[in-house]
Structure 1
């Protein structure tokens, strides 16, 4: 018996998801995989399964729930394909590796690995779930690499051993190096900057790093030596989607200058810098770095910026699942949807800079899609997401209106919506080499 073809969604999503087709033997599972991508890229504020089901024209979210909780497919296979696509995309270009953790408040204790712990998003201790995450930044575009769930000691299962967040970060870096990524620098916040185990690991691998440290960070000094605060240097810091900001940096030398250097950066007064407006960093970069270390460290903004997009735009915390196997699947598909945007953001940026190939140029700039009033000519991940959402709008409209058209048949409306969706399917800008990569 001939197997039926999967239901189509939107051209650029279907093209991307086709790279994962071999993971899903059942066509219905493959369709759920595509529908989740459509839903996660949607502008709805809560990416719950019932809301996604409405967007794609399903009666309810039961099939999507089954796909995440019970269906037979391997999250490791999806992850391997996604990481392979990233390697194909960036080639031999080195990455700035950003390490950070994120947490979500959760009620009760039925969800795996939920416990009372520090939740960085709210800056206090609460009942919640935390993960350690890694992103690559290449030429201003973020690519999601890996995540690992943090398992509090109180919630460990019988066959599990405890790992701290810095230890999880070490495992992540090992895996990323094994995949063949070239790490140009590691960027992390003070949780990792204050971890001697994490810093020793980076030094052992001779990896350049710039990490935040606390204002009371301790440094061993021989007797009779003093701490010296060098003069301030001004620099202009480009910020993501914000005007350039004037900042000041100075080196702090504990006794004599060492291979590890310490700096203070402030965006406030240099006469009496307030801790709220300044921060301290530690780095093993060499050479005359006073003019560049501040700008390089601010790349760490991509940590917060990148994951803010995942949480606010793609629905990282919107799952209604309790077992970690299902949650891991949800998070992995979100990373996959994130990659869809990253790949298109890179093409949009190259076209804006006149580096795109001729086929991509003719598709993206300026006709016909660029004539839309809300089409953005920016070069950021968020501007790419906004443009992709415009392309999916007709498909969402069909999902919302299909039931009404069955009640009130309007052939002209149905035909027009399908014609508009056909136009959206002509949007193809990803390089052929990438679409064939998996």
Structure 2
């Protein structure tokens, strides 16, 4: 039994690499099943967000190279390129890493809460795929419990800071008065919902939500008095948009250079501020080459985010201590579970030997044997049989020079204690 956490994130890989390693939602179930079929992983879950793609695995024996080869082949990448930016955590370090991720301690935005929901979704998808078993399932539950404790017992989640908040903060720097600005939000997921909330709170003049399905766009738009449109209507809306923020799960760019050029001409080159939060990217990188376009990717938000993190730094140490305790407690409970199977087998063996000797004693009594003699025979027979296997194994270990095992046997059977103490 071994846990493995392997992946890349915003610290180890550029957005260009991360978008190539990202798993699209509709392919996740198939990817998980393939991962377990083609590697030695007995249980698996995949977390894929804008900032990270991580595999959480349970294996008999760790085989990192096999997982790297599978991941590279799945995404049609050069394994050397992947190996250069991948990180690996095993056993307790893997448990601790997963808990740090869930608590927002490994995020671009320290303490951001969205990752907790994303990890819960990863767990749900893995359950749907049938790739989560008892061990990984216990790890997820322990991770959720620790992350909730971090939120409750520390100030890590106070003073809301997120990629969405950072994007809106940057927009405020470029447009001093958002009351006169119009925003076009592409997508209708959690990140865009947060962006809409922040913009609405800042009193922005108008919000338009564009999405693949009008129903999802309308549901979000209703919350903030916004206007809902389909993705196909983006070119018309772009003309009146001062701010464009996009975050979808599309595998191909939604907004190209040509469409933006046409909008700029109609706007008489009035500037447009754009933030592409998606991985893979929604906005073609070439759009950033245009005059009067201020295009930022998630990686460009670091400075804005760093400025808003100072209030959370003090809470991070307390959160780290809770995570360390959570990981240690989980591993202790897991090791205790390993002993349960051994104890169960040992008890079953002892009960079988007891029943055999009891049957013999009852037979002796039925044949007229004195009760005290039958009891003495029962005691002798049971003692001999219970001691036989351990005695044979201890002699073998002694002959092999396994004195560490002999010392452990002394501790196991409490042989260093006096008879008086053993009877207490």
What's the TM-score, normalizing by structure 2?
A: 0.25
Higher relative contact order (CA 8 A, sep 6+): 1
What's the TM-score, normalizing by structure 1?
A: 0.25
Q: Which has the larger radius of gyration?
A: 2
Higher fraction of helix: 2
